[in-house]
């Protein structure tokens, strides 16, 4: 009996360290943030319990509504570009041609560059005085003067979205390339015998077989992009005029620059709830799609 009990509880004993580490790294900060969000907590002053007052204030705050809209544009634009570019490159690099290994390596380089280095590099490239991008656009005659990308409220968000696409498309490319290489070549050979065109092969073979992996890639990129902080903060700090102020930056500015810790923590809690709600909804819809219910 003791030996049987030992075998039964051995898996739980083995995963206990990982669960404890997860609790310390993930669950404790989350519970602490929830607690702080229920208090009127100002840096340097005693905290005061206010219940849900911070959350009520948030949803009547124009700055929060603006940040939510900016975050949605940022997420949709970034993920759409990353998936389209990454999937297209995966399809291209899945073919046989001279130098394919070299191109695979080169296309992966943006992903391995640290975020802060990528952000600082692109800030320099977008600089209107000595940046290469405004200089090239001016030399081509498309613009009569050098463009202020990161100082223009209408161009700052598209600029940082473009940088995010460049930085993270390689993740989509690598995962989708692995999915494409797992497809049996016999299926394509049979399709060619039946006279299928490349587009018909893509719709009937490639897309259905890579759809589960594509679902995972989109879900991960949505979650990571929705919670991005350092790339946008280093490039613009949310400016100009809140044009690139996503929710993570708003929470940071409120908590650590404005000193309103409770308000900033409440924004963080809402960000967490929105992320979880979206992920669960997306997973449920994808499951219904696979079962043919949609």
For 186-203, write each residue's pLDDT tens digit. 999 999 998 989 899 999
Contacts of 22 (CB under 8 A, 6+ apart): none
Higher-confidence residue of 5 and 126: namely 126
Q: If pLDDT is split at 50, 70 and 90, which confidence band does 290 have?
A: low
pLDDT at 128 over 90: no
For residue 175 the two structure tokens come to: 């995962």
pLDDT, residue 288, reads: 60
Measured over the CA atoms of residue 73, residue 78, residue 83 and residue 88, the dihedral's sign is: positive
pLDDT, residue 1, reads: 46
Candidate from 73-77, 106-110, 254-258 with smallest mean pLDDT = 254-258
Q: What DSSP element (H or E) covers 24?
A: none
The answer to whether 50 touches 40, Cβ cutoff 8 Å, is yes
Q: What percent of the chain has pLDDT over 70?
A: 95
- Measured between alpha carbons, how far is 77 from 222 in angstroms, rounded to an integer? 10
Q: Stretch 143-169: mean pLDDT, rounded?
A: 93
The pair phi, psi for residue 40, each rounded to 5°, is -85, 90
Q: Stretch 235-248: mean pLDDT, rounded?
A: 94
- Measured between alpha carbons, how far is 67 from 249 in angstroms, rounded to an integer? 9
Contacts of 108 (CB under 8 A, 6+ apart): 170, 173, 174
Q: How far is CA 243 from CA 29, 39, 80, 127, in A?
A: 29, 29, 20, 18
Mean pLDDT of the chain: 89
Q: If pLDDT is split at 50, 70 and 90, which confidence band does 5 have?
A: low
Q: What percent of the chain has pLDDT over 90?
A: 63
pLDDT digits (tens, 9 = 90+) for 199-234: 999 999 999 999 989 988 998 999 999 999 999 999
pLDDT at 294 over 50: no
pLDDT, residue 289, reads: 54
For residue 4 the two structure tokens come to: 């049987």
The answer to whether 180 touches 91, Cβ cutoff 8 Å, is yes
pLDDT digits (tens, 9 = 90+) for 52-93: 999 999 988 999 999 999 999 999 999 999 999 999 999 999
3-class state of residue 292 by DSSP: coil
**Could you tell me how far CA 97 lies from the centroid of its own chain?**
32
pLDDT digits (tens, 9 = 90+) for 6-31: 677 788 888 888 888 887 888 888 89
C-beta atoms surrounding 53 within 10 Å: 17
The answer to whether 154 touches 242, Cβ cutoff 8 Å, is no
Global pTM reads: 0.88
């Amino acid at each position: 009996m003791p030996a049987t009990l030992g075998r039964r509880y051995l898996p739980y004993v083995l995963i206990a360290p990982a669960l404890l580490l997860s609790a310390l790294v993930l669950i404790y900060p989350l519970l602490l943030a929830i607690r702080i969000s229920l208090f009127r907590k100002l840096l340097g002053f005693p905290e005061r319990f206010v219940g849900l007052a911070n959350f009520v204030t948030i949803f009547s705050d124009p700055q929060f509504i603006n940040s939510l809209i900016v975050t949605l544009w940022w997420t949709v634009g970034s993920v759409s570009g990353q998936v389209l570019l990454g999937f297209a490159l995966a399809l291209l690099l899945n073919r046989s041609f001279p130098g394919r290994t070299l191109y695979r390596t080169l296309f992966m380089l943006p992903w391995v560059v640290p975020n802060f280095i990528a952000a600082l590099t692109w800030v320099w490239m977008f600089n209107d005085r000595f940046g290469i991008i405004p200089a090239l656009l001016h030399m081509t005659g498309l613009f009569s003067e050098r463009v202020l990308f990161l100082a223009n409220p209408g161009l700052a968000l598209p600029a940082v979205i473009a940088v995010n696409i460049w930085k993270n498309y390689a993740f989509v490319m690598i995962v989708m390339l692995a999915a494409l290489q797992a497809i049996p070549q016999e299926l394509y050979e049979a399709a060619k015998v039946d006279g299928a065109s490349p587009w018909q092969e893509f719709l009937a073979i490639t897309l259905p077989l890579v759809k589960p992996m594509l679902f995972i890639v989109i879900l991960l990129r949505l979650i990571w992009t929705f919670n991005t902080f350092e790339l946008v903060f280093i490039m613009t700090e949310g400016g100009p005029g809140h044009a690139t102020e996503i929710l993570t930056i708003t929470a940071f500015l409120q908590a650590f620059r404005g000193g309103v810790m409770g308000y900033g923590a409440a924004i963080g809690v809402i960000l967490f709830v929105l992320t979880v709600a979206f992920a669960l909804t997306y997973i449920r819809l994808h499951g219904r799609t696979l079962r043919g219910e949609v």
